[in-house]
Structure 1
Amino acid sequence: MSEEVIIGREAGGSVSLASAFPRYEQTFPTLTMQEIARMRRFGEDRNYHHGEALFETGKVGPGMFVVLSGHVAITQRDGFGRITPVIDQGPGQFLAEIGQLSARPALVDGHAEGDVQTLLIPPERLRALMVAEADLGERIMRALILRRVSLIRGGAGGPVLIGPANSAGVVRLQGFLTRNGYPHHLLCPHADADAAEVIARYSPSPADLPLVVTPDGKVLRNPRESELARAIGMVRAVPKDKVYDVVVVGSGPAGMSTAVYAASEGLAVAVCDTRAFGGQAGASARIENYLGFPTGISGHALMARAFNQAQKFGAEIMIPVEVKSLDCSRADGAFGLVLDNGEVVRARSVVVASGARYRRPEIESLADFEGRGVWYWASPIEARLCTEQEVVLVGGGNSAGQAAVFLSGHASRVRMVIRGGGLGASMSRYLIERIEASANIELIFNAEVTGLEGATEGALERVRWRSRLSPEESRFVASNLFLFVGADPATGWLEGCGVKVDRAGFVITGAPNGAASPASTLETSVPGVFAVGDVRSGSVKRVGGAIGEGAQVVAALHGYLNDSARPSL
């Protein structure tokens, strides 16, 4: 919806998108009468009297509105009850943002000014419009994406976080919301009167921070990601009577590729993930060796495009939900994926794309400082905490190299602790050259981190390390440690269902007779269950390879679903 016109707050008020956003015409295009005529078959007329609400903050809107006559006032309303005028939209303009593709709650209010006539296009018909009317669909899709981007940049819409910017809880929740492309705003109680009033009213203990004020005014105390997601409408109840053609577990490159290709070919697709779309690739600061992006692209930007593309074709994205187990009994003809809240998602086939979880090395006191100085990815949120500081980074692979280069633009020094004696065997040459050319990246070979030190219940202060060639320990003064030491397969949820894994826990695929077909290459030991990407034994562990497998498995899915639909003779 046209709420995205607010892109930030300053002391004197709000900043208008018209004056500050360079792509205004693409963000808020005006449709011609001919274009509106082409859209009519996808919607229905809806009329509103003066003051009536077309959509309300925090409530699921009915779809995209095209204004035919009259004007709609768009206002922003936060959890404190503050209402900020945003913009008026008139004839030929449409009211929606990317959340309307999947019927998510509105992030602003829209009220009729005078009598208003609109064309309402519900989410499922909006997706059909984008496919059937390619040129119109391109313009609308670009506008929906740009509007969400402007919301995120300005912190307009979504929940308000209250607490110190560098606190573990704030960093955790900001990371969750940012990686899911969800707008939010951070207020410091020392600088904002409304935030200070909430703090005084709820008298939180340090463990209660941050407080989170949702758009409907509810106050949460240091919520878990799943609790916050439910409160702001990110997670919806699983349809009890629906059987999907395929459920994809994991929304990294392999999972999102599967979702895009499967949904675009008409399959009913659901995607489950425990944290955010993108997986480990989504946390990459920069990817420069992926086909088609000669200047590079951040992992989050690449995966956000896939996320929006999957929604365009109708894939249902369930984040954050954790799949606890897989029921392969198929008593009712479908697999059952049991979620952490007890709900069950039913599907005719399953694609395992759960990737790998960050490996936690044997470092003394590691768990005590996770989220308080120990990080497993390097996003702008963590980089902000490292400004003009010395940081330690452990690892010698491509992810470590990308993170080191990224952090070197923020930190005064980046010390890379590398277990081996060089980088040539584990890192791309272009990254090695970039690291060698960086004056503030120091390479420490044949070394390992042994322990962490800091105040009790406080932040990290020192990192202990030693050379593998000597037993003596040394210390670095550092408040941030980044770990990129590989990952272990996330396959615990498959235990007991018959899916075979190798010694390291990666899923074994391939038909025993060695037949060379898409199904035999990617199908597991359980018919109808496939595996793609990093979680698959023998995969190349690259973004391009994962995306390729995600596309390849769709042919196997079609073959399996067609065979299972045929009556037995």
Structure 2
Amino acid sequence: MSQPILLTVDDDPAVSRSVARDLRRRYGKDYRVIRADSGADALDALREIKLRGDAVAAILADYRMPQMDGISFLEQAMDLFPHARRALLTAYADTDAAIQAINVVDVDHYLLKPWDPPEEKLYPVVDSLVETWRELGDRAVGDIKVVGHRWSSPSYQVRDFLARNSVPYRWYSVDDAEACRLLEAAGATAADIPVLITADGTVLRQPDGAQIADAVGLSTRPAQEFYDLVVIGGGPAGLGAAVYGASEGLRTVLVERKATGGQAGQSSRIENYLGFPDGVSGAQLTDRARRQAQKFGAEVLTARDVVGLEARGSARVITFGDGSEIAAHSVVLASGVAYRALEADGVAELTGRGVFYGSAATEAPECHGEHVYIVGGANSAGQAAVFFSKHASAVTILIRGESLEASMSHYLIEQIAAIGNIRVRTGTTVLKAHGAEHLEALTLCENGVTETVETGHLFIFIGAAPRTDWLGDGLLRDAHGFVRTGPDLLAEGRRPPGWPLDRDPHYLESSIPGVFVAGDVRAQSVKRVASAVGEGAMAVTLVHRYLEEQ
């Protein structure tokens, strides 16, 4: 196989030669460096590369070029090599434009010219680009095939599971001739959809998450029976706990019931997270965190549903849905929250068939030229609105309140106000979702006046319900189901009933010693990605303190 390619585009010959020279010096052994003097020439080169079947790892494009600027070029380059990582070369005066380009073409980085010394300013950026490409890049998408129906909720669930776990696949609509040929070869019929076919020819009919995970090579079974630390939940808090636990020498396993990232992993772009001035997608951030945890030795189990947690002497025992168990000295509960169900006629029946909870990024291509409606006024809803505005003809945000100011960050409100095809309707609720096979219309009530609007896509981002029903009476929770910890457990200075130790619970410790709680599932927590990561790290510090006491 030929070497993957690093492509640079700059209309200034001196700059073009300079960046190519610096790239060859560092990466010439493993990558082929190609340079072009214009966007048009670069696109011609990319088309030829595509025809040859070679891979492009990263593209570095100058922002200011005649005829075709760097943003326009990268937009077209993405059509040819969507997995190639992208960086924009820009002068200091164009920094604002480069940051805006982050939202247009999902640029991974921008580089200020000059980048001297390259060891400090160029190579760390390119290292990040090629590392990400190696993890997520041009793996063959034809290996895993999914045959399903666009308006089938189970088909959507299979696609969503694969996408959120960064598993490439090829989608075939059951109405297509090629889908019919695949079903015939697999000995299946349209009644069996969704059908998943792996690279070795294994056929899965209407598979669940655990079956898909096993088939595509995700880890689902623990390597050991006993650990120092079990982390329940793979959102930012759980990933933070896994990174710090494993890096500090604890035998750590993270258990996630669907895909790492949680709600944050579905965010199209997080722009207020420390250290990412250009913003970062939730998928990128959580994928990096997962790889970081695994680098330090943490196991990550996917598609495992935890249904029980109890103390057995000094051990803390986790029970899975299939009845199997693992035990540990300590536990960090970071199971996060789920979006609350929208209570409106027809919504439940049409979920997965035009009605979606969360951003459902796999639906973005289907929204082209459509009018999309979003329910919710928090940051996740705002990020989704900005994301879908690039695909849909119009996006309408529906909120009960009088404005977004009470629930959304100021930077997002400003972005939304500047995007012409986003509208915010205040004092508005959804009364009913209409449709037979899929969503076709919504009945809205705005300040007492009802209206029916046509739409095929409704995305819901309302409230936060903790996933704690499975805990039973084992851990004390507040009236809303959030787990109480530390000082919140001390009623009038008294320790919680049944507390067996001579000390008060540690700050993030639950009513079971050795079981710590981090992130959104904890009562009184701050619902932000940064605070969740911080609590995950803090929980590991308290785990060490707990283990030293034993």
- Normalized against structure 1, the TM-score is what? 0.71
1:245 and 1:349 in contact (8 A); partners too: yes
Cα separation, 2, equivalents of 1:20 and 1:155:
21
Cα separation, 1, equivalents of 2:462 and 2:387:
17
* Aligned twin of 2:539: 553
| Structure 1 residue matching 2:136: 3-state secondary structure | helix
Cα separation, 1, equivalents of 2:434 and 2:24:
50
* Aligned twin of 1:115: none
Cα separation, 2, equivalents of 1:288 and 1:485:
21
**1:150 equivalenced with 2:137 (yes/no):** yes
Residue 226 of structure 1: how far off its partner (Å): 1.6
2:337 and 2:521 in contact (8 A); partners too: yes
Q: 1:174 aligns with which of 137, 159, 163?
A: 159
1:518 and 1:552 in contact (8 A); partners too: no
1:326 and 1:338 in contact (8 A); partners too: yes
**1:285 equivalenced with 2:261 (yes/no):** no
* Aligned twin of 1:326: 309
* Aligned twin of 2:222: 238
Give the number of aligned pairs.
Answer: 438
Per-residue CA deviations over 1:404-444 (Å, capped at 9, x if unaligned) read: 11111111111111101111111111111111122111111
Residue 228 of structure 1: how far off its partner (Å): 1.1
Aligned residue identity for 2:478: D
1:86–1:433 CA distance, 2 compared to 1 (3 A): closer
* Aligned twin of 1:496: 473
Cα separation, 1, equivalents of 2:521 and 2:513:
18
1:473–1:479 CA distance, 2 compared to 1 (3 A): same
**1:477 equivalenced with 2:454 (yes/no):** yes
**1:209 equivalenced with 2:193 (yes/no):** yes
1:26 and 1:142 in contact (8 A); partners too: no
Residue 494 of structure 1: how far off its partner (Å): 1.4
**1:228 equivalenced with 2:207 (yes/no):** no
Residue 21 of structure 1: how far off its partner (Å): 7.2
Per-residue CA deviations over 1:357-385 (Å, capped at 9, x if unaligned) read: 11102111211111111111224312112
**1:368 equivalenced with 2:358 (yes/no):** no
* Equivalences for residues 40-439 of structure 1 within 5 A: 145-151=132-138, 155=141, 157=143, 159-164=144-149, 167-188=152-173, 193=178, 195-201=179-185, 204-239=188-223, 242-328=225-311, 330-331=312-313, 333-439=314-420
1:143–1:526 CA distance, 2 compared to 1 (3 A): same
* Aligned twin of 1:90: none
Residue 473 of structure 1: how far off its partner (Å): 2.5
1:86–1:421 CA distance, 2 compared to 1 (3 A): closer
Residue 17 of structure 1: how far off its partner (Å): 6.5
Cα separation, 1, equivalents of 2:142 and 2:25:
20
1:85–1:479 CA distance, 2 compared to 1 (3 A): closer
RMSD of equivalent CA atoms:
3.1
1:21–1:527 CA distance, 2 compared to 1 (3 A): farther
Residue 475 of structure 1: how far off its partner (Å): 0.8
Residue 185 of structure 1: how far off its partner (Å): 2.4
Per-residue CA deviations over 1:219-268 (Å, capped at 9, x if unaligned) read: 111211222112233234334x6311110100100000000011000001
* Aligned twin of 1:505: 481
* Aligned twin of 1:8: none
Residue 312 of structure 1: how far off its partner (Å): 0.1
Residue 85 of structure 1: how far off its partner (Å): 10
Cα separation, 1, equivalents of 2:426 and 2:317:
48
| Structure 2 residue matching 1:335: 3-state secondary structure | strand
Q: 1:526 aligns with which of 484, 495, 512?
A: 512
Aligned residue identity for 2:258: R
**1:486 equivalenced with 2:463 (yes/no):** yes
Cα separation, 2, equivalents of 1:397 and 1:343:
38
Structure 2 unmatched runs, 5+: 9-22, 32-51, 56-123, 496-502
* Aligned twin of 1:95: none
Per-residue CA deviations over 1:115-167 (Å, capped at 9, x if unaligned) read: xxxxxxxxxxxxxxxxxxxxxx9999986642231145x5254x221235565
Aligned residue identity for 2:466: P
Q: 1:442 aligns with which of 395, 401, 423?
A: 423
Cα separation, 1, equivalents of 2:243 and 2:432:
43
2:259 and 2:302 in contact (8 A); partners too: yes
| Structure 1 residue matching 2:4: 3-state secondary structure | helix
1:376–1:270 CA distance, 2 compared to 1 (3 A): same
Cα separation, 1, equivalents of 2:236 and 2:504:
18
Per-residue CA deviations over 1:445-488 (Å, capped at 9, x if unaligned) read: 11100111101xx1110111112x32x42111001101111110
Aligned residue identity for 1:553: A
Identity of aligned residues (%): 40
Per-residue CA deviations over 1:374-402 (Å, capped at 9, x if unaligned) read: 11122431211211101111111111111
Cα separation, 2, equivalents of 1:249 and 1:314:
17
Aligned residue identity for 2:255: C
Cα separation, 2, equivalents of 1:430 and 1:141:
27
Residue 537 of structure 1: how far off its partner (Å): 0.5
